[in-house]
Amino acid sequence: MSRCSRSLVQRPFVRAIVAATLLSGFQASTGHAEEKALERTITVSATGTVEAEPDQARITSGVTTEAPSAREALTRNSDAMTKVIAELKAKGIDGKDIQTSSFNVEPVIDYPKDGQPPKVRGYRVSNQVVVLVRDLGHLGDVLDDVITAGANQVQGLSFEVSKADALKDDARKKAVANALRRAKLLAAAAGAEVGNVLQISEDVSSSGPITYAAPRFAKAEMSVPIERGTSTLEARVTVTWALK
């Protein structure tokens, strides 16, 4: 038999091997897909909460001044803020717990009603600081001191729990327990049982501190009464179980 004839005889055999290989791979892939499709799971999201008493607070306060010129307004503002910060440090507030949050210089514009063009009559300078008060027992006194020292704005007061993340561990445990309880209830209603945990994830969000918005003060005649209340720490988890 010639070389050409042998080549013609072998081609169908090679094609048969290729076809058999492709068929085998297709069957294996189909079997894996069917096995994957038959896997039954249940996914539940749940929350857990704990109550905690705030142990520190942040005050947003500052000084706003106006003057005919920007330089004069800035000088007045700087002098007033220097006194406020000095008073805070004198009352035991650490320098690292005082942080400038905003500083603005803007023109003060009058808009005549007779159709005349707007006119700049002066400049306004605003300087705001955030003060962390670690001893809530002195919070009212700190507010009084800030206002007495010359601050004419108190934009807000927020209470915080310094060890919130550690305290949230109990909330996380409660969240997982609540998710498992609901999963068992749903699975039983469907005639199944909860198996092994396949995946757990925690939904992390920034809820922010509890905020008390305070108005502007001219001068405080007595220590400001403050109630800290309680904060609710919440954890949210999503858990997937296998069903059996």
Where along the chain do its domains lie? 1-38, 41-51+165-206+236-243, 54-163+207-229
Residue indicated by tokens 């108005």: 215
Q: Mark 69-81 as b/e (b = at least 16 C-beta within 10 Å).
A: eeeebbeebeebb
In order of 41, 46, 234, the CA distances from 180 in angstroms are 13, 9, 17
Task: Say what the pLDDT of residue 36 is.
Answer: 53
pLDDT-derived band of residue 205, with 50, 70 and 90 as boundaries? low
Task: Say what the pLDDT of residue 4 is.
Answer: 44
Q: What is the rounded average pLDDT for all residues in the chain?
A: 81
Task: Say what the pLDDT of residue 115 is.
Answer: 78
CA angle (131 as vertex; 80, 76 as ends), nearest 5: 10
In order of 64, 107, 149, the CA distances from 124 in angstroms are 7, 6, 20
From edge to edge, which strands make up the β-sheet containing 210-212?
98-110, 119-133, 56-67, 153-160, 210-212
pLDDT digits (tens, 9 = 90+) for 146-198: 888 899 988 888 899 988 889 899 999 999 999 999 999 999 999 999 999 99
Q: State residue 11 phi and psi, 5-degree precision.
A: -60, -45
Task: Say what the pLDDT of residue 225 is.
Answer: 62
Residue 137 has pLDDT above 90, yes or no: no
Pairing of the two strands 194-203 and 231-243: antiparallel
- 23 vs 103: which has the higher pLDDT: 103
Which range is most confident: 13-27, 94-108, 224-238? 94-108
Q: What is the rounded average pLDDT of the residues 106-111?
A: 93
Q: Judging by beta carbons within 10 Å of its beta carbon (0-12, 13-18, 19+), is residue 118 exposed, middle or buried? A: exposed
The residues, any chain, with a CB within 8 Å of residue 105's CB and separated by 6 or more, are 70, 73, 74, 123, 124, 125
Distance CA 74, CA 67 (A): 8
Task: Say what the pLDDT of residue 91 is.
Answer: 85
Pairing of the two strands 210-212 and 194-203: unpaired
Report the percentage of the chain scoring pLDDT > 90. Answer: 53
Task: Say what the pLDDT of residue 180 is.
Answer: 97
Residue 103 has pLDDT above 70, yes or no: yes
| Beta carbons of 166 and 196 less than 8 angstroms apart | no
pLDDT-derived band of residue 56, with 50, 70 and 90 as boundaries? very high
When the candidates are 3.30.70.2970, 3.30.750.24, 2.60.450.10, 1.10.3720.10, the CATH number that belongs to 54-163+207-229 is 3.30.70.2970
